[in-house]
Every structure is written in C-alpha cells, then in structure tokens.
Homo-oligomer: A and B are copies of this chain.
Amino acid sequence: MPDPEETFLAEYDPAAFPPVAVTVDVVALTMREGVPVALLIRRGVPPFQGAWALPGGFVHADEDLATAALRELGEETRLPSDVHIEQLGGYGSPTRDPRMRVVSIAYLLLAADLPDPRPGTDAAEAAWVPLRELGFGTGGPTPRPLAFDHAAILADGVERARSKLEYTALATAFLPAEFTMAGLREVYEALWNVPLHAANFHRKVLSVPGFVVDTGRLTAQGGGRGGRRARLYRAGDATSLHPALLRPAGEES
C-alpha cells in the first residue's frame, strides 16, 4: 500500500482525471397572458449555432451550482427577488456535447411575470416560447428541435412542474403576490392541459390548510366580459399540500 500522503497528492493532481466541463442549464417557466411559457435562446456560436437551446453555461470556479444557474438566467432576463429554483438533475451522456465531455446540472426555475428577455452572451436571440409550441399541451405545431439534449431536459422540467403542482404549493410560484382563485386555477389548467371544475377547485384549495390566505380584498374590476369581482388571495405557509390536488385520472397530452 502506498504512503497515504503520496496517494493524496497523486489524487490532487487535476490532470490525473479525464478532462470534463460542468455546465448548468435552466428550464425557466412562467405564465404570460395566461399561457405557460419557457425561456429559450437561439445559439449564436457553435456547436448547434442557430439552434434553440435552454439558457445556461459553464460553472465558474468556486461558484455554487444554483448560483451559476441564477447568474446564467440573469443574463437573459431580469429576475425578481422571489423565484422558485430547484435542481432537476445531472445530464452526463458522453456524447451530449460534441466538443468534449460536458456534464450539465439542470435547474427548474419558476417565477411570476418575468419581463421580456434580452439575448445574453453567445445568444443571438432570446424568447418566451409557449409550451404548446414545444410539444407540450394539446395540438400545436411540430416542436422545434433543441440543441444538445435540451429537449429531454425541458421535458423533465415540465413534467417536474406538472407533478409538483399535485402535492406542493408550487403553483403560487407562477403567480404574483396576490392572485385570484381563477388565476390559480388557470395555472393548473394550463400546465395540466385539462379543464378543472371551478366550484370544486375553489373548495378544494380552501380546504388545504396553509395553501392560500384570504387577503379580504377584491379585484378592482370584475372579469373583462362581466362577472362578479373576485377575492384576492396570497400564498400561505404550506409547502406541501394535505390533501393533495391530484391530476384527473384521464388522459392528457
């Protein structure tokens, strides 16, 4: 057995390991005009120049992974103070990047009302793209191909968001600080792609302790096409929902 200290030094040599780079990629979702959208950029540099891709980039030295994800996304859009961010996982197929071995840690970010994006470094264009145009939701055009394995990462992110709506209070992350029951229901309907029974949804949400808190105030105006003024709620303390709001058993898309 070699001297431990010697082994330590041998392992400390960075060149002893296969060259690999670590990146972060971000699935950023928000609601715009009632439809769920994802932030995509059009790549301005090879590889996949001209293709659409998730925002992301290389992790800096001594930088936390989640910090890197927020930094990269901040290059494309102005982030509000309260965003939800969680890790999706690591993507490390040896062939996912033609340049070299790149392991990417993907993050899911949810926020309300993000502004129009600006193209950051290496990006020719940046845009909020409705999920419907990306192959999620019913119908819609044939989804555009994405660079690298970003289509799989995006699919994982959307599915994560969809399933966490069931058992966590995550839906409020899509909404501004104060929202109506109809607004909350729209998030569920748009992401799950199913119509929900308004009356039952209303009662079910109120039955979950800590999901929403009644502000006591009402919207200034009724609906655009008539209708009663709606009560305003804000997010409650609960992070997990008991009982859960399960997706209807039937089919989706």
Chain A residues with CB under 8 Å of chain B are 1, 4-5, 7-8, 11-12, 14-15, 17-22, 44-47, 49, 58-65, 87-90, 92-94, 99-101, 103, 105, 242, 249
**Please, which residues of chain B bring their CB within 8 A of the CB of A101?**
61-62
* B7 and A45 form a contact (CB under 8 A): yes
A-B contacts, 11 listed (Cβ < 8 Å): A4-B46, A5-B46, A8-B99, A12-B99, A17-B58, A22-B22, A65-B92, A65-B93, A87-B90, A92-B105, A242-B249
**Please, which residues of chain B bring their CB within 8 A of the CB of A61?**
18, 94, 101
* A65 and B103 form a contact (CB under 8 A): yes
The 7 closest A-B pairs by CB, nearest first: A14-B19, A18-B61, A90-B90, A90-B105, A65-B92, A8-B46, A62-B94
* B105 and A8 form a contact (CB under 8 A): no
What is the CA–CA distance of A21 and B22 in the complex, to the nearest angstrom?
Answer: 9
* B103 and A22 form a contact (CB under 8 A): yes
* B89 and A90 form a contact (CB under 8 A): yes
What is the CA–CA distance of A8 and B45 in the complex, to the nearest angstrom?
Answer: 7
**Please, which residues of chain B bring their CB within 8 A of the CB of A90?**
65, 87, 89-90, 103, 105
Q: B12, B14, B59, B99: which contacts A92 (Cβ < 8 A)? A: B59
* A89 and B87 form a contact (CB under 8 A): yes
> In the complex, how many angstroms separate the beta carbon of A32 from the nearest chain B beta carbon?
29
Q: Which single residue of chain B is at the shortest CB-CB distance from A49?
A: B4
* B46 and A64 form a contact (CB under 8 A): no
> In the complex, how many angstroms separate the beta carbon of A15 from the nearest chain B beta carbon?
8
**Please, which residues of chain B bring their CB within 8 A of the CB of A17?**
21, 58
| Contact of A93 with B64 at beta-carbon distance under 8 Å, contacts A4-B46, A11-B45 already known | yes
* A64 and B103 form a contact (CB under 8 A): no
* B92 and A64 form a contact (CB under 8 A): yes
> In the complex, how many angstroms separate the beta carbon of A178 from the nearest chain B beta carbon?
30
* A45 and B92 form a contact (CB under 8 A): no
What is the CA–CA distance of A20 and B15 in the complex, to the nearest angstrom?
Answer: 10
What is the CA–CA distance of A62 and B101 in the complex, to the nearest angstrom?
Answer: 8
What is the CA–CA distance of A93 and B61 in the complex, to the nearest angstrom?
Answer: 11
* B7 and A46 form a contact (CB under 8 A): yes
What is the CA–CA distance of A44 and B88 in the complex, to the nearest angstrom?
Answer: 33
**Please, which residues of chain B bring their CB within 8 A of the CB of A1?**
44
What is the CA–CA distance of A235 and B51 in the complex, to the nearest angstrom?
Answer: 44
> In the complex, how many angstroms separate the beta carbon of A253 from the nearest chain B beta carbon?
18
**Please, which residues of chain B bring their CB within 8 A of the CB of A65?**
90, 92-93, 103
